[in-house]
């Protein structure tokens, strides 16, 4: 544990596994007090236990980001435990249905928007008044390359991520004068539980062959390196080292100098 983020309070959604768990752990290791939020409480508790065993400060809260009252209750627990969060990481996400527009299940498609876009908006709307009052805050939205180009048969996920990127741009433009900065980041190819589920999905093999091929070609070493790079960047962002790049979509594999070496990734 370090003292780099000793005064930071972080609220991380989707924190029970995958990217969220890795980010929450990295923030705690840097000294932040971390609120781990997700729908599945046993996963949340597992992340919290790992952090506290290592000497970090964390609490777990059950939170369904698609329900405003659930977000409000989780945020109230966060404030009671650690004070006002000044770092919000919107990481909660789902793959969503794969298939042709017009034939894919419409409710499942819309549910994907609810998690990625409405969920992020609920969390932003809950956290923002305190950040404005304090005159300081950073909001990190986990985006994806899929939000920047046409991803055939993956419209649910791609449209959700495209909306999240544009929401980030609006948020930063509107609130930077108040001291609140927002970032959208493409985290890279990391073999999370959701990625493993994609590999097992018949829909993915039928409609997302390029994605399946990418995941199948990613080695465990590359995945671990990617997670470490992502965590270094999030800690650096929380420390204020990337505020000059706020309001933009950032591809960690192309746009972000490596936090450990200071070199530009190839």
Catalytic residues: 157
Q: What is the DSSP letter of 243?
A: G
Angle between helices 106-113 and 155-175 (to 10 degrees): 30
Picking from 58, 234, 206, the residue whose alpha carbon sits closest to that of residue 139 is 234
> Counting Cβ atoms within 10 Å, is residue 148 exposed (0-12), middle (13-18) or buried (19+)?
middle
Distance between CA atoms of residues 120 and 117, nearest Å: 5
The position carrying tokens 């005064």 is 7
CA distances from 68 to 73, 115, 144, 157, 163 (A): 9, 12, 24, 22, 19
């Amino acid at each position: 544990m370090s003292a780099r983020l000793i005064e930071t309070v972080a609220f991380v959604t989707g924190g029970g596994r995958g990217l969220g768990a890795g980010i929450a752990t990295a923030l705690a290791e840097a000294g932040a007090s971390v609120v781990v939020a997700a729908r599945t409480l046993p996963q949340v508790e597992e992340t919290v236990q790992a952090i506290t065993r290592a000497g970090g400060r964390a609490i777990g809260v059950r939170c369904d980001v698609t329900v405003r009252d659930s977000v409000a209750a989780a945020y109230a627990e966060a404030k009671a435990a650690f004070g006002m969060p000044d770092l919000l990481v919107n990481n909660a996400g789902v793959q969503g249905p794969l298939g042709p527009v017009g034939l894919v299940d419409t409710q499942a498609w819309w549910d994907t928007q609810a998690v990625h876009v409405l969920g992020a908006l609920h969390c932003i709307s809950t956290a923002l008044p305190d950040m404005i009052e304090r005159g300081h805050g950073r909001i990190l939205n986990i985006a994806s390359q899929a939000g920047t180009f046409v991803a055939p048969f993956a419209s649910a996920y791609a449209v959700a991520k495209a909306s999240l990127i544009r929401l980030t741009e609006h948020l930063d433009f509107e609130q930077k004068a108040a001291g609140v900065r927002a970032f959208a980041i493409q985290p890279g190819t990391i073999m999370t539980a959701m990625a493993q589920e994609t590999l097992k999905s018949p829909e993915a093999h039928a409609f997302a062959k390029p994605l399946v091929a990418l995941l199948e070609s990613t080695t465990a070493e590359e995945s671990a390196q990617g997670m470490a790079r992502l965590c270094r960047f999030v800690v650096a962002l929380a420390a204020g080292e990337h505020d000059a790049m706020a309001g933009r979509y950032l591809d960690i594999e192309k746009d972000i100098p490596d936090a450990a070496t200071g070199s530009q990734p190839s």
